[in-house]
Structure 1
């Protein structure tokens, strides 16, 4: 076991892929760490060229000055800055010049005043080059040999960390106790060097006492946890604002430390670091070895509430200058009315001046629950998903009993209210005085607002209402109305897609049948027909109405119905020669020459599936084409907007310009 002092390392790893944090953000981090009782910062941004890709290159005078300033700032706040180097991409372990390059680079940083170091061999290929295969018996031997020599060259720093290539249990073959790699590291790595470990997986849902005892026995020392529970560099659409949890405080005496590798954007890490600090505070307490996380004094829900309460104060601060905050700045009062230019006062009939509503703790709680943790949604997010799942499965139908329709409407209203709370939270966040936090959050909150707005529109469609045309679910949506991209296309083709969603199985979807119309269907067809007439309240004589009401028989194979579990939910009737159904010359001869056939269409509002409706129509068009028709038209009352917009999205019919039509009539048609 390690011979050095047992100071528990607690703090932050800047170890993600992507744009590194700025110097001012790091200084602000040190201020927060000091305030919250954390003591360590591991400098390891993957995309800092001279940390990883060009690890041999020394720092320029300008870069050296920045690093010295950063090291000094950490010392002023009582934070141990651990400088890490990642040479594993291309190092030749057996080449003395490579070892000299490592010593030279870390020696330079030591000259800046840094006293703590790390060598990281994560996320690299494990195949050795021919020269290393000749010199070492294994990859682990090569890494340990170089690390031990660097450690001695630096005069055995009090803090020196080593990240193995197999840094989690999932990487160990065949298991942690039987891993030849880990056993070599445990046996041969100098006892003064601590080892980083992410737990059972790269992003571990839980880290148990038993798992740490197992790896500690192999490593022959307690590990330092590099915790990726809040990391989001692997998915640019995700952000994690939930509390540090599922790590029992009974772990603390069995660890050398815990460092969180959090979200890429600096400002949203307030919760991750704050709740970790609350958890780490138990390092100074006698923690019972009995019980689990839920039975310990650490309560993740309470830790989250405390973090969000403090974060709310930060949202109320005006933008900070580019540099470390020397101390708490004067907060801007959140509910203060914004200054209006030139003292403008609206008249009695003018729009009132806009006043931003203040952000609340409830808003931040909702935000956290929408962006919770990698394996877990927050309570409100779970509720919204459950409600939408239920509303999808129990959409109202004509045969449903009244009490079931009432329950559906009540739950739809509840879901609508939840969606509206997300929109209101977005609006208040957008008006927060601290724009630095907002700009780091904006892409995420804009995305979730878009998602719930689309879900809200979908539920309205299920309930027979017509959403805004821009929000209608169609086969040709606007690019902002869906989550696309090549990555999404690939994932939808793979069997593992959605395996971390709330509903692991694919939610039940409605099954539709297209079949020929029979006389027994007439009552249900007429019910849909009369509902449409009641909805439009327009008395316009249509040729197609005579087909629906049975006054005129449709052409052969040109009468179809759409059916779901609740019964008939759509119909199409067509006549190859529309003139035979006319009692008078209703339409110009020039139109009838190009569009001689007529089609009557109606799809019930409970059918959101555009592809099924399109198939129904195209099947009828095929029958008309076989009969020799050159084109078909369909009539609609002008205020039947739902059906009119529905058909426009199918891209089958186009609006026809016909002279002399009544203003309350729209004709659509297509050539065959």
Structure 2
């Protein structure tokens, strides 16, 4: 009798087993046969069951897909398929003919069948046709034969599937393989509708989620695409992929995919980092996610912000993975850790501590002994190289503290500044210790995959550490930072960095003062229907800053009554900001604030109203981490106000609203103003037009 877990994992796909495993589908140097065999062993040990062979740089997989494998290549591939079977791993051979296939040419389709027949002869029983990352314009011959690109792909895929005789597993990767590629959207995509209607039911469809590299994948989004495809998709998950940026690597846990997805999916395949050995955490935690219980036991403690799934905890999964990974690091794969100096040119190299081993004398330096790598070191490593859309906890703290130390360095060094500087220095030292211990681990294979990344982070941390020490007077200014002719390691990024720094908004990206931009924002005119959303944002931001509105004995702020809707903004002087989740910010203005001040019995005799007759107010939700949309909205409003004949604009800001204070101070020409009638916790700032 099957267990409840096995039954649940059959999901919508009837008796088919839930696909869980790894796709080698990245651009770059493919993994070696030895590494793939090691992968099969790990997958079997951790409970995964699938490997999809799709390395973009196997020429006969993609560029020269028509060419058959030579005898030597066929022998290697046969051995690999046998190794997968030995470990109960379903080996899926993928081929990507989409770069140049003529779908209407029977000889081309015959070549495709012949290639797959060759692989079937090697013992392979599962296959995949991939049409990702290709041009969507059909050639003239195909346009005459097929009504659309989707019809052409589906016709060939169905024919190949039938030719192979209902293979054990058959996957199809569409050209529109994520929601972002669908025109105009998933539910109205004619391409996806054709795939869903015409693709044979035994063929499964690959899908990456909302984006190519999806931050989160929701149950609702999967239900939507499943209804169009008429089948549960297999997620090709790029959350740990790094082939798009050789300076990044990702070792955080599998997360932001609720386990409620499992019964709604055909399976999940992770397409991880190009480097093989650093994928330990990615694959280990995916395996734990796939095994999440259907009916979890209630937790005794309250879940944290990132622990909302009662069936799977990313942090617990990470801790368990790191404990296993530490054993891998400490396994000796070559005797480098035991080597010692030769005592003479004639004496052979010694690898044991015999009677001739060197012993330091009194007053001499002791022999160097490498400290062993710890679990805390690995946790720090993963937090420094976490996931595409977020840094780990320690990295976030370091960036926050460095930004605070720099921005408060001009004031007298307070005890708070000195304490924060010491904490930052301690964290930098921990990074250096982690680097030193990693550099001396016995397992050099893992180290070599990580070395470029840990060298880079150590260098960046050392520079930041030296700079903070110089700010606090703890050390001399760093020659690397201050020299007019620095060494090449004193500046980052090479030619790519030079280009990036010449573009707007990218001058400080090395330190990620702001999180990487991940949203597409829309700025549009305010309308009556936006009134409630603007009020909600206003109230939320007041609560988050624990602001008490003006008491009944004080006149209300003009900006408050403008935001709450008691006062309407001037024509052409109101904008809202939208992202994928809805309205997330606003900018409103009055061209004649003096008239509004009189209506609420504010002192209007102040001569500043003559110089600054107009008012602007705005707010952004915390999820808007990119400052550029606010700058664009402010620029548009100031242009509209100027065209009305106004001479100047002012704003009213509470001292606790540090974010907007920082915006007006650093992002524009606003300066503090003396204005009568303001509560003590409010300041005014203005700019002339």
Deviations 1:224-247 (A, max 9, x none): 000000000011111101000000
CA distance in 2, matches of 1:140, 1:118: 16
Shift of 1:502: 5.1
Mark the runs of 5 or more structure 1 residues left unpaired by the alignment. Answer: 322-330, 333-337, 507-672
CA contact (8 A) 2:12 2:263 kept: no
What's 1:361 paired with?
Answer: 375
Determine helix, strand or coil for the equivalent of 2:441.
coil
2:433 corresponds to 1:413: no
CA distance in 2, matches of 1:68, 1:170: 38
Cα distance change of structure 1 residues 3 and 466 upon mapping to structure 2, 3 Å threshold: closer
Shift of 1:473: 3.2
Deviations 1:292-346 (A, max 9, x none): 961322000000000000000000101179xxxxxxxxx99xxxxx956841001
CA distance in 1, matches of 2:379, 2:295: 31
2:21 corresponds to 1:11: yes
What's 2:600 paired with?
Answer: none
2:379 corresponds to 1:370: no
Cα distance change of structure 1 residues 4 and 66 upon mapping to structure 2, 3 Å threshold: farther
Mark the runs of 5 or more structure 2 residues left unpaired by the alignment. Answer: 1-10, 298-302, 339-350, 517-689
Q: 1:192-203 to 2 correspondence within 5 Å? A: 192-203=202-213
2:123 corresponds to 1:113: yes
Cα distance change of structure 1 residues 86 and 4 upon mapping to structure 2, 3 Å threshold: farther
CA distance in 2, matches of 1:222, 1:260: 17
What's 1:266 paired with?
Answer: 276
What's 1:483 paired with?
Answer: 492
2:41 corresponds to 1:42: no
CA distance in 1, matches of 2:296, 2:266: 15
CA distance in 2, matches of 1:201, 1:13: 18
Determine helix, strand or coil for the equivalent of 2:155.
helix
Shift of 1:8: 0.2
What's 2:198 paired with?
Answer: 188
Deviations 1:47-98 (A, max 9, x none): 1111000101000000000001000000000000000000111111111111
CA distance in 2, matches of 1:191, 1:262: 29
CA contact (8 A) 1:11 1:40 kept: yes
What's 1:612 paired with?
Answer: none
Shift of 1:408: 1.3
2:64 corresponds to 1:54: yes
Tell me which of 231, 249, 252 is aligned to 1:242.
252
What's 2:322 paired with?
Answer: 308
Structure with the greater alpha carbon radius of gyration:
1
CA distance in 2, matches of 1:143, 1:287: 42
CA contact (8 A) 1:241 1:269 kept: yes
What's 2:672 paired with?
Answer: none
CA contact (8 A) 1:250 1:287 kept: no
CA contact (8 A) 2:242 2:248 kept: yes
CA distance in 1, matches of 2:216, 2:13: 29
Shift of 1:469: 5.1
Shift of 1:285: 3.2
Cα distance change of structure 1 residues 218 and 383 upon mapping to structure 2, 3 Å threshold: same
What's 1:668 paired with?
Answer: none
Deviations 1:428-475 (A, max 9, x none): 001100000000000000000001001011112212344475433344
Tell me which of 372, 376, 396 is aligned to 1:382.
396
2:262 corresponds to 1:252: yes
2:82 corresponds to 1:72: yes
Deviations 1:526-559 (A, max 9, x none): xxxxxxxxxxxxxxxxxxxxxxxxxxxxxxxxxx
Shift of 1:477: 2.5
CA contact (8 A) 2:12 2:264 kept: no
Deviations 1:495-547 (A, max 9, x none): 464789853389xxxxxxxxxxxxxxxxxxxxxxxxxxxxxxxxxxxxxxxxx
Determine helix, strand or coil for the equivalent of 2:482.
coil
Tell me which of 237, 245, 248 is aligned to 1:227.
237
CA contact (8 A) 1:457 1:471 kept: no
CA distance in 2, matches of 1:320, 1:276: 30
Tell me which of 177, 188, 205 is aligned to 1:178.
188
2:468 corresponds to 1:454: no
Determine helix, strand or coil for the equivalent of 1:294.
coil
CA distance in 1, matches of 2:504, 2:191: 32
CA distance in 1, matches of 2:364, 2:477: 27
2:111 corresponds to 1:101: yes
CA distance in 1, matches of 2:108, 2:511: 46
Q: Provide the aligned C-alpha RMSD in A.
A: 2.4
What's 1:141 paired with?
Answer: 151
Determine helix, strand or coil for the equivalent of 2:172.
strand
> In the comparison of the two structures, how many residue pairs are matched?
485
CA contact (8 A) 1:382 1:502 kept: no
Deviations 1:125-160 (A, max 9, x none): 111111111111111011001000000000011200
Q: 1:207-226 to 2 correspondence within 5 Å? A: 207-226=217-236
Shift of 1:494: 3.3
Determine helix, strand or coil for the equivalent of 1:382.
helix
What's 2:638 paired with?
Answer: none
Tell me which of 81, 87, 90 is aligned to 2:91.
81
CA contact (8 A) 1:248 1:296 kept: no
What's 2:441 paired with?
Answer: 432
CA contact (8 A) 1:42 1:84 kept: yes
Cα distance change of structure 1 residues 446 and 113 upon mapping to structure 2, 3 Å threshold: same
Cα distance change of structure 1 residues 271 and 345 upon mapping to structure 2, 3 Å threshold: same
CA contact (8 A) 1:2 1:193 kept: no
CA contact (8 A) 1:396 1:405 kept: no
2:133 corresponds to 1:123: yes
TM-score (norm 2): 0.68
4+ runs deviating over 6 angstroms: 1-4, 498-501
CA distance in 1, matches of 2:382, 2:515: 26
TM-score (norm 1): 0.69
CA contact (8 A) 2:467 2:477 kept: no
What's 2:176 paired with?
Answer: 166
CA distance in 2, matches of 1:3, 1:426: 47
CA contact (8 A) 2:307 2:314 kept: no
